[in-house]
Chain A
Amino acid sequence: MSKDRAFHRRGIKSSYLVMGFLSIFFTQLLLNLFIFGYLELQQMGGVWQSSFAIQAFFREGVAPEVVEKVQEEVKALPLAGEVRLVSSEEAKNKFLGYFSLQEEDLGLEENPFPPSLEVRARRVEELPLLAQELEEIEAFEEVFYGGENTEALLRFYRFFLTAGGFLLLALFVFSLLVVTAVIRASIQARGIEIEVWSLIGATKKFIRAPFIYQGMMEGLSGGVAAFLVSLVFFHFLLDFLNTSFPLFFWISWEELVLPLGVVSVLMGSFLGFLGALLACNSVEEESAK
């Protein structure tokens, strides 16, 4: 008989506990996938952006003093980051190396490659602006950067980051809605308890406390579970990606641990807490009618 009773009592609560746990677990998994994608995108962006540089070619027969002076001038530009001089010699060697040629193959007496400056922007968004400024310098024959293509790429990347941010936010709101709905259902299932507590003089705080606690525990355990599952999942995923596409800039597994852990645990318990609070509010409002 006492066994039956235990079963009966646990039955009421556990089904809702499991639902709350699962709702947070799955939304948190989704969130973690997103965080991975976001971090990966940022990482790729970083690597890829640093490969952007402006090539500014000097006019033919420019004097070495002028080259030096202009280099200093460019370095002083507020938008400019790293500035590197590419001498005609270096440019020639690069060309030869690139096409696997010997010096004699060119059959030239003079070096036809002009010296140039390789200029990086402090912020990649300012690349076009910087290029414009360089174009105004007399000593340059031609200033080359990706132009419209680069700008389009930049726009695309920025769009991705913004969209990712919004999606992350949407996902958060979505999880909150799900968690609230689930905890609300569990509170409504215990409506008689709440009514009785209120009738025998329990304060709002007293009545709410177990639900808030339950919500936070569901959130915390859901978050921790999602964190552990994500870690295992990403471990295998990154292994696979690194062997299949070794040249790509994959984020390392170790770099993922901290952000995923912090977000899963904090977000999980916060979602559980907020969900329980919102659910309590809406149930109270309803019963006040």
Chain B
Amino acid sequence: MEFLEFKKVYKVYPTGVRALDNVNLSIEKGEFVFLWGATGAGKTTLMKLITREELPTSGEVWLEGCEISALEDRYLPILRRNLGVVFQDLKLVPHWTVYENLISPLQVLGVRKKYAHHLVEEILDLVHLQDKKHHIAEWLSGGEKQKLCLGRALIHRPHLVLADEPTGNLDGATALELVGALFEFSKKLGATVIIATHSEELISQFPARLVVLNKGKIIQS
């Protein structure tokens, strides 16, 4: 059984755009994957099928033996709690502090306050936001917001991390540092990580599997 599997997946948006075109893809547990493609290639759409923000037009998406493309809505919370997602548009709550944004996945999981607090401190160190702990998210720089978003994706130590253009607002050095942190996380916890990016520079820096998406088709995996 594969960890994550796309079977003959098509996604056509109501506007008629064919975002994914017969995608077949298998990813094993613990793999570190770059999903590479130009803007509009369908990377975000592919991620959204895993988080169930979208449903495939046809085909199946399987995660750990569960067909998530057929999952009933009431089970979505269970699916999403087990994912760590860096959304392309971040999805931070702007009027919450860094601390509040970071701790939110732990609140959903019902983690005890003391332990949650401890985990937040750990993550603050990992993403270098220790001195911004009580700042309002809205006031952070673009790069800091992205670090915060990564922190929130990792804080509950998910088995599968999806990072959609997590370095879009970062300079080269910070981008490397951040993806480095993700790489460390993956190796340490055996987590599966998928990073969507259009940066060629980034993918050459890590010993990772490369999946190339072009106009909704997988042309290399």
Contacts and interface: CB of A to CB of B under 8 A. Distances in A.
Contacts of A199: 51, 53, 80, 85, 87, 91
B142 interface: no
A286 to B, nearest CB: 16
Give the dominant DSSP class at A's interface: helix
B94 interface: yes
Nearest to B100: A9
Interface stretch (A25-33, A88-96, A109-117, A189-197): A189-197
Interface in A200-253: 200-203, 206
B92 A12 contact: no
B78 A201 contact: yes
A199 B76 CA distance: 9
A13 to B, nearest CB: 9
Contacts of B152: 200
Contacts of A2: 134
A69 interface: no
Contacts, number: 52
Interface string B54-87: 0000000000000000000000111111110101
> What band does the interface of chain A fall in when counting residues whose beta carbon is under 8 Å from B?
10 to 19
> What band does the interface of chain B fall in when counting residues whose beta carbon is under 8 Å from A?
20 to 34
A190 B97 CA distance: 15
Interface string B129-172: 00000111000000000000000100000000000000000000
A3 interface: no
A192 B51 CA distance: 17
B95 A12 contact: yes
A8 B104 CA distance: 20
Given A2-B134, A5-B136, A196-B104, A203 B77 contact: yes
A8 B136 contact: yes
B181 interface: no
A7 to B, nearest CB: 11
Nearest to A9: B95
Contacts of B92: 196
Given A2-B134, A196-B104, A201 B77 contact: yes
Given A196-B93, A199-B51, A200-B81, A206 B134 contact: no
Interface of B: 51, 53, 76-83, 85, 87, 91-97, 104-105, 108-109, 134-136, 152
Interface of A: 2, 5, 8-9, 12, 192-193, 195-203, 206
Closest 3 CB pairs of A and B: A201-B81, A201-B80, A201-B77
